[in-house]
Amino acid sequence: MGYDETPRAGLTRRDYVKYGGAAVGGSLLAGCTGGSDSASTTDAETEAAAQTATETATETETETPADASYAVTMSPVGTVEFDESPRSIFTRLSHHAGMAFALGRGDDVNAVNGPAYYDATWKQFTARLPGVEVDWADLYPSWETSKEKLYELDSDVHLADPAWVVQLEQWDMGDIEEVAENISPWFGNSLSARHASPTDEWTGDYEYYTLWEQFGKVAQVLREEERYEALTAVRTDVLATIEDGLPPEDERPSVVLLTASDIETQVWAYTVGNPGFLTSHIRPLEPHDAFEGSIESGSTVDFEALLEADPDVVLFLSGMQPNVSMNDLRATLEADPVAAEISAVRNGHVYPQGARYQGPILNLFQLEMSAKQFYPEEFGEWPTSDGGPYPEIPAEEQLFDRQRVADIINGDF
């Protein structure tokens, strides 16, 4: 089932934001147990960074005057037409909220998955960006969003993947279309996180995007192309610095990315070589996959499986959360007779990470922190800490200019 190109008479409440095209489909099962990775797709993240902002901007639309209508195309929603830039912004996952935030529109976000959690996560990084703040703690928690709540929020755009939303128990394709026609368009893509396969109910071809490709399309929707281009230039410089500093392949560590509800009983492992923006801050560093493709990314593992893989570096998602003690985590691993034998644990190479569904700003920080965690001799050591905000890094060891990024977010560039 696709979208009707012309909304039915009497249903459209919003005249200045509307669908202008048909939609195709796809879906993604959320969380640690969700989705399957597509083995047939290849990563274009690093290559895409080298493309100019002009190439990205002209991929799907023609330049139009600021006061004219415009259209942006992205899978799975198809082509969406706007008469002016959306003001209030609904998001479901934090990579979309992070895109709005990076474009200076963080205060216009009215919903996000786990508001208090992601507010705390983003604050750990914005502490190093002068004059940049985020305030999401009291927003609507949109993980199990309801159609009734979307009517209440009355957003100008839904930065959320309808192919994922439709999998919620109370949703069907009729509800997806109703929201698009009566409230405002959907414009989001989440299957690209791990190139997960769509479900049968969402027909058509589902395209995958790198984090920054999708960011460019969101920038077009919000008419913030200049901020996007400026941030893309920062990232391109970071990637060039990383490429110049990479050691030979035989000197690169084996790595695994973990998250846990309880580090002793419930651990999920994410492999670092699979495509998708979930690992877009790791692949440019070209580490070795500790599991060498022997598990599906997102699988549950125990300490025995981790010891068999024997990673040189363990990255712990949520390790930057203010209520997470990395010292306690390391102590727990060191006290376990099996975990203590893992090379990363034995050599003190268990490090924090920020968030899976990272936006562009977290992506910049996580590129820098991962570079230091993998290659301290080339990029400077990562300060070992017990949590707290992103550590102060000497200016000469920073991979990007904090003030420059803050100025771009604040529109002072």
How far apart (Å, rounded) are the C-alpha atoms in residues 408 and 413?
5
CB 344 within 8 A of CB 350: yes
- Asked if 411 and 101 touch (Cβ cutoff 8 Å), the reply is no
Question: 70: which DSSP letter?
Answer: E
What is the pLDDT at residue 266? 92
Amino acid at 67: D
Residue 289 DSSP SS3: strand
Q: Where are the domains of the chain?
A: 17-235, 248-410
User: What CA–CA distance (Å, rounded) separates 379 from 247?
Assistant: 11
Instruction: Characterize the bridge pairing of strands 140-141 and 78-82.
Output: unpaired
pLDDT value, residue 371: 98
* Among the listed residues 209, 395, 204, 111, the one whose alpha carbon sits nearest the alpha carbon of residue 218: 209
Which long-range contacts link 278-282 to residues 24+ away (Cβ below 8 Å)? Answer: 278/193, 278/194, 278/356, 278/357, 280/45, 280/210, 280/211, 280/212, 280/358, 280/363, 281/358, 281/363, 281/366, 281/367, 281/370, 282/255, 282/257, 282/315, 282/370
Task: Quote the pLDDT of residue 205.
Answer: 81
Torsion of the alpha carbons at 241, 55, 366 and 358, rounded to the nearest 10: 180
pLDDT at 141: 97
Q: Do residues 268 and 259 make contact, with C-beta atoms less than 8 angstroms apart? A: yes
Q: Which amino acid is at 45?
A: E
Distance CA(340)–CA(326), nearest Å, equals 15
Please list the ranges in the chain whose pLDDT falls under 70. 1-67, 203
Kindly give the residue spans of alpha helices, DSSP state H, lying in 314-353.
326-335, 343-346
pLDDT of residue 90: 98
Separation of alpha carbons 112 and 124, rounded Å: 17
> What's the CATH number for 17-235?
3.40.50.1980
Is 122 strand, coil or helix?
helix
CATH architecture assigned to 248-410:
3-Layer(aba) Sandwich (3.40)
Q: 17-235 and 248-410 share one CATH topology?
A: yes
Q: What is the pLDDT of residue 387?
A: 72
pLDDT of residue 199: 78
Classify residue 143 by burial, with Cβ atoms within 10 Å: 0-12, 13-18, 19+: middle
Per-residue pLDDT at 386: 78
Q: In what order do the strands lie in the sheet with 70-74?
A: 17-19, 78-82, 70-74
pLDDT confidence of residue 378: 97
